[in-house]
Structure 1
Amino acid sequence: MSPRRHAPVVRTVAPVGVLVSVLAGLLLALAPSAWAQPADDLAAAATCNGRTPTMDEGSPGETILGTAGDDVIITGGAARVDTGAGDDSICITGKGPAIVNAGPGDDFVGARAHQGKTFVSLGFGDDRFIGGDGPDRVWSQESSNQTSSDDSDTILTYGGDDYVISGSSTALNTDIVALGTGDDGLVTYGFSSGAVLSGGPGSNSYQPLPGPGVSGSWDFDNVEGQATLDEVTRLTWRGFQRFDLAGVQGDRLRFRGSKASETVSGGGACEVVLRGRAGNDRLTVDDEGCNGLPAGDALLVGGGGDDVLKGAGGDDVLRGGGGADSADGGAGDDRCLAESRVNC
């Protein structure tokens, strides 16, 4: 179907601008139960984000093209929306997958009235996104253009297993990201000590990518929700239980777990120490070590739960602690203290 532009018309979609400002302002105070029954942003009003639509409502399966100005669009089940420049407001409605390229400008994208998957590129600018009950995939433009400065985006998801990419390798990340009730994933580029990153309910994963050339002694603490590089706080977060630390490189990588059951994989550092503490933890050393070399010696300590520990090519020490633990030393001359031992 060929894309078409639409003449102005007024349709029925509720105001969500108030919802965005309230959620962003109260983000730090949100309890997990706050995500259980989100307010419906469809009420009898002729606006999208408090603004009158500038074109006809879309129809299922079509492509909508915006203008160089400030567009206000109700998608009506459209398969794709490209708005271009301007401070745009896009309300995703209808059913089925929807792709949105918001383009440059300070944009709003809302999917509370949508049933299905959304794939959203927010573009340059200080943007806002509110997800729906389905799985959302949200990219900030900075994540696909790592030479750009970072903007301040607000990304709030609800139901579904959502995936968000945030930040830039060349600037401090100042985004607000609050993930909803599903098992969600977050990837951040650069340093995020200026951001608010919340996993919300569910089993959530976090993959920090500090950027090429960023190296040193890393200490991750999931009790405090922060990571330091050479004793300076560079990353902050809360509400994550799964960590992919393959992109963290340097002389040392240390991880301290919380009372939760955590899954942690780490490599890229000359020295790797992973401590799970309480919970049923899964701790794994990646095959690649520092400076592109194979993995070196590692220390894995499970703690009090039923833990699974897996070494790599170095001479590793694996200690299960209390509980019924299993240890696989991998290659190398390894020492294991666990109820079940392989390659030790």
Structure 2
Amino acid sequence: MKKKIIILGIESSCDETAASIIKNRDVLSDIIIHQNIHKKYGGVVPEFASRLHEKNIIKAVNLSINSARIQKNEINAVSFTLGPGLIGSLLVGASFAKSFSMGLKIPLLTVNHIQAHILTHFINDSNINNSYPKFPFLGLVISGGHTQIVKVNDFFKMEILGSTLDDSIGDTLDKIARKLGFYYPGGPMIELFSKNGNCKKFIFSKPLSSGLNFSFSGFKSHILQFIKKKSKDNPLFIKQNLPDICASIQRTIGEILLEKMKKAAIKTNIFRIALAGGVSSNYEIRRMFLSLEKRKNWEIFIPKKKYTTDNGAMIAITGLLKYEKNLFDSIYVSPYSKFNKF
């Protein structure tokens, strides 16, 4: 009989305080405490984020353990996000995890946030098609802080093939949304209003970037200038055309992602793609990739929406996979804010 391994996962890289319990690959609990204070500032305020993590982390962990209906002494190891992310927020999670590890005398497992988004696909019942991607596959990580194409050869053998040269896709959507009058986070608002819009009403230029890299700074500037010019000519332009503007923006972004992934697939001869990160919850991007699967007979893996945003389950599953390979860490490890390599 296979040994039952129970892992506590802690995520605190940005503004979500999350804790999850996983037994083998089954999620027993997944608690996320949101920090709504950042909406009034139009973005995450790092100092507020770290203070609220300090306030919420014990509550999140206790709720996670209680919801899983286990005892603390049943936990085999604790995993936590080491980076990348906001350094103050990461330090809160790291300090708690280290103390938890020492207090219960259980192993410590550090997790790369981007890697965890990709490995979300190996949680039981995490994909919309209820299956795991086989190695090798291409991971497309699209979120508020990251936009990367990753070649995944094994659980912990990953290679970045392309990355954003400037803004992430999520940050781009948030800044455009602000110009349209939406509050933070703006990406979901663009998605909401786009559902009643004509995605071919406005044609936006696509950025030119080398190889498999992305560039969204010029695209963002183009959209903002377009809105500014149209609004100058007609003060009611946004109000009269909001659904069409949002739909056209989403279609263009989806096309940018698809074009790069097609290039990556042809270059690597890998036609198995797994989406990951908060922006992968966007219905239009999901629809476009699923359409590609039908037309090209490629394999497309998309996580259920609850596993797209930052969550403790993705940290716990990565910890579990490291535990199975005895990849334990020292309590002397230090969080890092910027991502260099896996």
- Same-fold call, TM cutoff 0.5: no
Q: Hey, which of these two has a bigger chunk of helix by percent?
A: 2
Q: Hey, which of these two has a bigger chunk of strand by percent?
A: 1
| TM tier, smaller | under 0.3
Larger radius of gyration: 1
Q: Greater relative contact order (Cα 8 A, min sep 6): structure 1 or 2?
A: 2
User: What TM-score, normalized by structure 2, do the two folds share?
Assistant: 0.22
